[in-house]
Amino acid sequence: MSEAEKPLNFIQKIISEDLKEGRVKALKTRFPPEPNGYLHIGHAKSICLNFGVANQYGGTCNLRFDDTNPEKEEVEYVESIKADVKWLGFVWDGDIRFTSDYFDQLHEWAIYLIKEGKAYVCDLSQEESRTYRGNLTEAGKDSPYKSRSVEENLVLFEKMRLGEFEEGVCSLRVKIDMAHPNMQMRDPVIYRIKKVAHHQTGDKWCIYPSYDFAHGQSDAIEEISHSICTLEFEEHRPLYDWFIANLPVPATPHQYEFSRLNVNYTVTSKRKLKLLVDEGHVDGWDDPRMPTISGMRRRGFTPAAIREFCDMAGVTRVDGVVDVSMLEFAIREDLNKNAARAMCVLHPLKVTLTNYPEDKKETMTAPGHPQRDDLGTRSLPFGREIYIDQDDFREAANKKYKRLVIGKRVRLRNSYIIEADESIKDENGEIIGVNARIIENTVGKNPEDGIKAKGVIHWVSADDNIDCEVRLYDRLFTEEAPDAGGKDMLDSINPDSLQVLTGCKAEVSLANATAEDHYQFEREGYFILDSKDSSTDKKIFNRTISLRDTWNKKS
């Protein structure tokens, strides 16, 4: 389906109406990550939505780091998030922005609210505040400090700023309504004392705005037209609107919520992903088993497949869980069309072609891709000794087994038909080699005696190949909902999520593989060079995904 034919999602409908009716002149969105971890597949959906609508409707999208919580934030995360957004194929408008860029303005607005009699310094402890707040069935009560004068509040707030109080001694709150049915509206805190340095502002501040006080106002400063976020912020919208209505802001953005992307067999919470990293259950944020953008990239996912997946998942207000096989489908579709073909033997078994002269060499030619002439051809050295996969040979087998069997024929992909004569075993009876013969004149042709080969197997020359390591990945969790209902995700970590194979033999065309090139290793799956652990001396390939979905068959 072309872009123009696709039905609009509810956000697109709102935007196109707003533009048509002239309620909004230019569309402006933003993606506002908190730099407290690496981005994951859930964030990809928000990125695709925010940048996607901006591209579609001729608008712009900002990248804003929502950095109001200095305790958990780090520059490393800022850099990784920038790289991930770029890699996904999106361009933010102008420079990157930080909520902390607006700390001066937010501080002024806090003073404005005090002067308007709409904010007060409250000395209730956290514990006391909780009791004063009431609950969903009971109204809260006013803080005894709510009646402080404007002058007193101004002095106290300035003392907070100057660091004259310890953390937790007091906070700045807005006067809304302690009996409001929406708990968010019960005089929320807008400034807290936190005596910590900030990665952007250093030691300048020891008071920091709350998320709610910063978020909408940052949107207003940037003149965001549609502030798109996930459903858990729906309850915060009245507060968002209250700030916009009660402050002299330069624009009046609107917040719209959509449902979070949840994927089965996957955890999408930075906090939980951080735990996997910190406790060493995975090898870093970019471990290829992680649902982070950087992990998926290293695993061999493509930006196009991730964007397609986010598109397929759709944008709604209904919470649900998307089947991970949809993501796997998206990557297979992309790589089937675009990945160059190659052969790599994962469990090598040497085959000696006894009727092939020892000093003879040939070069076979194979297409780079069966349907893509633009991917050229590959040259495959061929000689008397080759490797095939251990799984592709049996001494005897029934008719269903269409590979190499003693006395039977099989075609070597892009090369001769061969027939096996005998196996060679070590002292323990393990098969360590096979003697076979080529059937003359069968490259690209059927044999003259009319006895065809039943199957086709992959192979590489034993003399000319690349020794490599191959890492096979499986889902990180064995349970569909690893962290649902208070379950400990660590209980369902898949012990077989990584299998490392060494001594694999790849065809020589892979000598120049880079971590940007995707390959289909014929009959084995889709692979990419590992961007981190590979070196010129040691090639390591990651399996992005198998050729077919075998997960259900396993269980």
Interface ranges with ligand ATP (CB under 6 A)? 32-34, 42-43, 45-46, 229-230, 260-261, 268-271
Contact between 152 and Mg ion per CB under 5 A: no
**Span interacting with Mg ion, options 30-38, 213-221, 248-256, 283-291, rule CB under 5 A:** 30-38
Min CB(258)–ligand ATP separation in Å: 7
* Helices and strands (DSSP H and E) totals, the chain: 13, 29
Min CB(209)–ligand ATP separation in Å: 15
Q: Which of 118, 141, 175, 260 is catalytic?
A: 260
Residue 337: contacted member of ligand ATP, Mg ion, none (CB under 5 to 8 Å, by partner type): none
Q: Nearer Cβ to Mg ion, position 73 or 507?
A: 73
Residue 388: contacted member of Mg ion, ligand ATP, none (CB under 5 to 8 Å, by partner type): none
Q: Nearer Cβ to ligand ATP, position 225 or 442?
A: 225
| Beta carbons within 10 angstroms of residue 492's beta carbon | 17
Rounded CA-CA distance 555/553 in Å is 6
CB 109 within 8 A of CB 247: yes
Cross-strand partners of 191:
172, 209
Residue 497: contacted member of ligand ATP, Mg ion, none (CB under 5 to 8 Å, by partner type): none
Q: Nearer Cβ to ligand ATP, position 206 or 261?
A: 261
Min CB(184)–ligand ATP separation in Å: 16
Residue 105: contacted member of ligand ATP, Mg ion, none (CB under 5 to 8 Å, by partner type): none
Letter string b/e over residues 519-529, b meaning 16 or more CB atoms within 10 A of that residue's CB = bbbbbbbbbbb
Kindly state the number of chain residues that form the binding site for Mg ion, as judged by CB under 5 A: 1
Rounded CA-CA distance 143/321 in Å is 42
* Active-site residue flag, 166: no
Cross-strand partners of 388:
349
Q: Nearer Cβ to ligand ATP, position 237 or 384?
A: 237
Min CB(15)–ligand ATP separation in Å: 16
Min CB(348)–Mg ion separation in Å: 49
Min CB(246)–ligand ATP separation in Å: 24
Residue 515: Cβ-neighbour burial (10 angstroms; 0-12, 13-18, 19+):
middle
Residue 223: contacted member of ligand ATP, Mg ion, none (CB under 5 to 8 Å, by partner type): none
Query: Considering only residues 311-330, where is the footprint of Mg ion by CB under 5 A?
Result: none
Nearest residue to ligand ATP, using CB?
Answer: 42
Task: List CB contacts of 270: < 8 A, sequence separation 6 or more.
Answer: 34, 36, 37, 38, 40
Q: Nearer Cβ to ligand ATP, position 99 or 268?
A: 268
Residue 123: contacted member of Mg ion, ligand ATP, none (CB under 5 to 8 Å, by partner type): none
Q: Which of 34, 223, 385, 395 is catalytic?
A: 34
Contact between 333 and Mg ion per CB under 5 A: no
**The residue to which tokens 């001769």 are assigned:** 416
Rounded (10°) CA dihedral 474, 336, 298, 459:
70
**The residue to which tokens 């090139």 are assigned:** 517
Cross-strand partners of 40:
292
DSSP state of 225: S
Residue 268: contacted member of ligand ATP, Mg ion, none (CB under 5 to 8 Å, by partner type): ligand ATP
Min CB(230)–ligand ATP separation in Å: 4
Q: Nearer Cβ to ligand ATP, position 33 or 70?
A: 33
Contact between 72 and Mg ion per CB under 5 A: no
Residue 260: contacted member of Mg ion, ligand ATP, none (CB under 5 to 8 Å, by partner type): ligand ATP
Pairing type for strands 97-98 and 60-65 reads parallel
Cross-strand partners of 545:
526
Q: Nearer Cβ to Mg ion, position 34 or 283?
A: 34
Min CB(237)–ligand ATP separation in Å: 13
**Span interacting with Mg ion, options 26-34, 272-280, 365-373, 425-433, rule CB under 5 A:** 26-34
Residue 270: contacted member of Mg ion, ligand ATP, none (CB under 5 to 8 Å, by partner type): ligand ATP
Rounded CA-CA distance 491/328 in Å is 24
Provide the token pair at 331. 């990557």
* Active-site residue flag, 34: yes
Contact between 421 and Mg ion per CB under 5 A: no
CB 316 within 8 A of CB 10: yes
Q: Which of 173, 270, 341, 411 is catalytic?
A: 270
Q: Nearer Cβ to ligand ATP, position 272 or 523?
A: 272
Rounded CA-CA distance 289/121 in Å is 48
DSSP string, 509-551: GGGG--TT-EEEETTTEEEEE-TTT--SSSEEEEEEE-SS--H
Rounded CA-CA distance 80/38 in Å is 7
Contact between 34 and Mg ion per CB under 5 A: yes
Residue 199: Cβ-neighbour burial (10 angstroms; 0-12, 13-18, 19+):
middle
Q: Nearer Cβ to Mg ion, position 33 or 140?
A: 33
Contact between 272 and Mg ion per CB under 5 A: no
Cross-strand partners of 434:
351, 423
Smallest Cα–Cα separation from 42: which of 295, 194, 263, 373? 263
**Span interacting with Mg ion, options 31-39, 253-261, 345-353, 478-486, rule CB under 5 A:** 31-39
Residue 507: Cβ-neighbour burial (10 angstroms; 0-12, 13-18, 19+):
buried
**Span interacting with Mg ion, options 29-37, 197-205, 303-311, 475-483, rule CB under 5 A:** 29-37
Smallest Cα–Cα separation from 93: which of 66, 122, 70, 64? 64
Which residues belong to the active site?
34, 260, 270
Q: Which residues bind Mg ion (CB under 5 A)?
A: 34
